[in-house]
Amino acid sequence: MPAASALSHVTLTVTDLESSVAWYERTLGLRRARTMAGPGRRRTLLVADSGLVIGLQAHDRTAEEDRFDPARVGLDHLSIACADRAEVLAWLAKLDGLGVAHSPISEEPANIATCPDPDGIAIEFFAPPGA
């Protein structure tokens, strides 16, 4: 039986592709790898040095004023793995330097802090408890 052992990539629907690409490049340090288009959609793949791939996709039929809602069926948040609490704090320092609003770091149930992307998708920075 095959096993699902890792994600290949995740693609997020956004309202303004270029604005979101710029935010993910600046905030998460991703770099543009490929841009493609199909009927009614445009997608840009962004890659981290770690190999993480995030696709950002804009659909022509998505309303410009639409915003993410974690209570709807689909994605709740995107979580970035951090080795320990110090790495989460390093991300928060980077966000502060960029003027990106974020939550404080929690201690329970783990070391977690979040910030919203331009469409309100929660980006979580997560380190296991005790790390």
pLDDT at 11: 94
pLDDT at 73: 82
Q: What is the mean pLDDT of each run of 10 residues along the chain (131 residues)?
A: 81 95 97 95 96 95 89 90 95 97 92 95 93 73
pLDDT at 7: 81
pLDDT at 105: 96
Query: What's the whole-model pTM score?
Result: 0.90
pLDDT at 107: 80
Where do the domains of the chain lie, and which CATH numbers do they carry? Answer: 6-61 (3.10.180.10), 76-131 (3.10.180.10)
* Residue 55, burial from CB neighbour count under 10 angstroms (0-12, 13-18, 19+): middle
